[in-house]
Chains A and B, each alone.
Chain A
Amino acid sequence: MRIRSITGLWLGRMTKWVLWALGRKGTSLPGLVAARVAPRLLEELLNQLSTCVIVTGTNGKTTTTAFLYAFLNDGEAWLTNRGGANLQQGLLAALLAKSDWWGRLQVKKAVLEVDEATLPKVTAKFHPQAIVVTNVLRDQLDRYGEVDLALRMLSEGTRYAGTALITNADDPLAMSLGLGRPELTYYYGMTGVVDTTARRTDVRDGAFCLICGRELEYAYFIYGQIGAYRCPEGHFERPQPTFAGRWERAGRRLVVCEAEPNTAEEFTVESPVRGVFNQYNLLAAASAARVLGVSPKALRRRVQNFAPPTGRFQVFPGAPERVLVLIKNPTGANGVLRALEDDAAAKAVCFVINDDDADGRDVSWLWDINLEEFIPCSRAAEWLCGGTRGLDMALRLAYAGIERTQIRVLDKLAQVAEVSADGVETVYILSTYTALHPLSDLLKEVANRG
């Protein structure tokens, strides 16, 4: 390793100590400091890995990474970037935490969550064994401009032919990454989970043929643009998945049918997560683990080690029970609302909307959440809003049909953490990114006070 990289590494470590001494958790800052001094440090560390799987895509990266981390853990140490620090400095910080003073990695296997825009920068200098793509959806528009751009970056980042690509057969945009990539491309997809709550009016960004531009025809939708599609001109259609999942909602299991050239074998995993979008995360991780040689038996056992990340249906016991859920874009939010419909409990729904850079400063996406169809099936007795743009959300709810006098706007996050109402069993707190960790801490306090 070059002197410059070692200097960067030392500075990074010192930053981490300073932060620790100040009592602050730093996920990205040590990496940022190190990267400033030593631009090649990241690739030098990554290239020491013997095995590396990267998870990318718009939604579900953190949950899929957590599943893969559980599935791949074979007793040897693995490293991962927990907490969603998925830009270059976050990756660097995760690697620095496991390296010695001379820049030698002490852990040789990694599961890393990588942001779509960061992926091509990482894979230009380093080729992982496998890349898992969750989906390609409309995200915070002020970050990348448009879905087309995110797709271009993913396509550039997954080009290297020696890397296995595990991508979503049911998402026309994610699927297109596998076109013209005959070797080492695997598709996963759902069969037999035609979700009856899928809405025809949901936002669908990829619902057009990438070749002729015509609107794709769908046999069924699962959520967003995800479903069974084909171009009316025949350019493009949902491929037969290598790993076909069937979600048994009532039994809380996922049955995976693996299509070998001549045979088809099935295995079942208990599903510890809610909502159809989360079953995709489980299926993506299980498929990638199978591609990397983990046996079905080990998958079934290791799924019990899965630790749900912060704010992914994180439950805080109490009366009422409070559940914290991340929302960051319309398709993700719609998926969360569908999962809420499955819960028959009398509930309060609280939206916490911030507009910092990490949340997306443009809040127009709130108007693409399909609240009009959620409200009649929500069984919600109370509607609340908070965050820096809580008032925007209140206005959105008013236009979706909630009486203006019925909407409570809360000024402080501490009030959000203590929301309760007569007859409400569960309070669902749907929060954007920057409010998520503060809320999780506040909710823990409230639950402990109990």
Chain B
Amino acid sequence: MDRSLRFVHLFPELLNLYADHGNMAVLVGRARARGFAVETVAVRLGTELRIENADLVLLGGGSDREQVIVGKELTRYREDLLSAIDRGLPVLAVCGGYQLLGEYYELPNGERVPGLRVLEMTTRAGRNRLIGNVAIEWREGGERKTIIGFENHGGRTTHEYPPLGTVIKGFGNNGRDGKEGVLYKGIVGTYIHGPLLPKNPHVADRLIRAALRYRGQDDTLSALADDLEWRVHDAVLRQICGEK
């Protein structure tokens, strides 16, 4: 059986505002611990993205200036991305990368930057930034789990898809409808960083399983010794829920 996985990090040199390389470290670490041979590819500005070589794509967040550059660059690959996502390509899109998947997002000055239109989703500029610790409830296969982290975004995102979770503490997509993030086929979109995956290893495993299914393989994963991860998760969750 083929035991290899290829993870692609899009524009890590531009979309690195919230230490998104930490997410890659967790995906790689948890896949290797299960015996998979993992190859990581960093696609930088000016290098070719070959979507057929990706089993999972990571899209992080950057400043507005950097996001505009990335948005333009990615337009070239829209059709490729769309058809791969349709076939279940897992994508982790955080913050700016999440906004980029929608129809457009609005800059603080009101200018609308076109998105990749992968999702029917829009992001409007808000008056103030939504900043702080965040905790959400995530349901998967009848199980309830929490996801924790930090959010810092000016944009208010709205869509009709299932969210990644419902807000327990914090703002979420727009501070109004109690939803955080998006789930659509293999896409996990979210405003939560910290980075997201180190303290939420269950989300990392969900992405790895999706990558295995995308390759047409058995998606069973063995359990790992991750008590430190859960100790941090629980401590931060307690801290967040204790906040006024």
Residues of A within 8 A of B (CB): 141-142, 145-148, 203, 213, 215, 361-368, 388-389, 391-392, 394-396, 398-399, 404
Contact = CB atoms under 8 A, between A and B. Distances in A.
Contact of A213 (B26, B65, B198, B239): B65
A360 B199 CA distance: 18
A141 B152 contact: yes
Nearest to A203: B16
B19 A364 contact: yes
B231 A213 contact: no
Contacts of B132: 142, 361
16 contacts: A141-B152, A142-B152, A145-B152, A146-B17, A146-B64, A213-B65, A215-B45, A361-B133, A362-B152, A364-B195, A367-B21, A367-B195, A392-B232, A394-B232, A395-B199, A395-B232
B42 to A, nearest CB: 11
B46 to A, nearest CB: 9
Given A395-B229, A399-B25, A367 B236 contact: no
Contact of B236 (A362, A364, A392, A398): A392
Nearest to B153: A145
Contacts of A364: 18-19, 22, 150, 193-195
Interface of B: 13, 16-19, 21-22, 25-26, 29, 45, 63-65, 69, 129, 131-133, 150, 152, 154, 193-195, 198-199, 228-229, 231-232, 235-236, 239
Interface of A is mostly: helix
A392 B199 CA distance: 8
A410 to B, nearest CB: 14
The 9 residue pairs across chains A and B that have the minimum distance between CB atoms: A367-B19, A367-B22, A391-B232, A364-B19, A362-B150, A146-B63, A364-B18, A368-B19, A142-B131
Given A141-B18, A362-B18, 5 more contacts: A148-B64, A362-B150, A363-B150, A392-B236, A396-B198
A398 B25 CA distance: 11
A367 B65 CA distance: 23
Contacts of B45: 215
A268 to B, nearest CB: 40
Contacts of B25: 399
Contact of B129 (A145, A215, A361, A365): A145
Nearest to B154: A145
Contact of A395 (B18, B64, B150, B228): B228
A375 B45 CA distance: 30
A181 to B, nearest CB: 23
Contacts of B198: 367, 395-396, 399
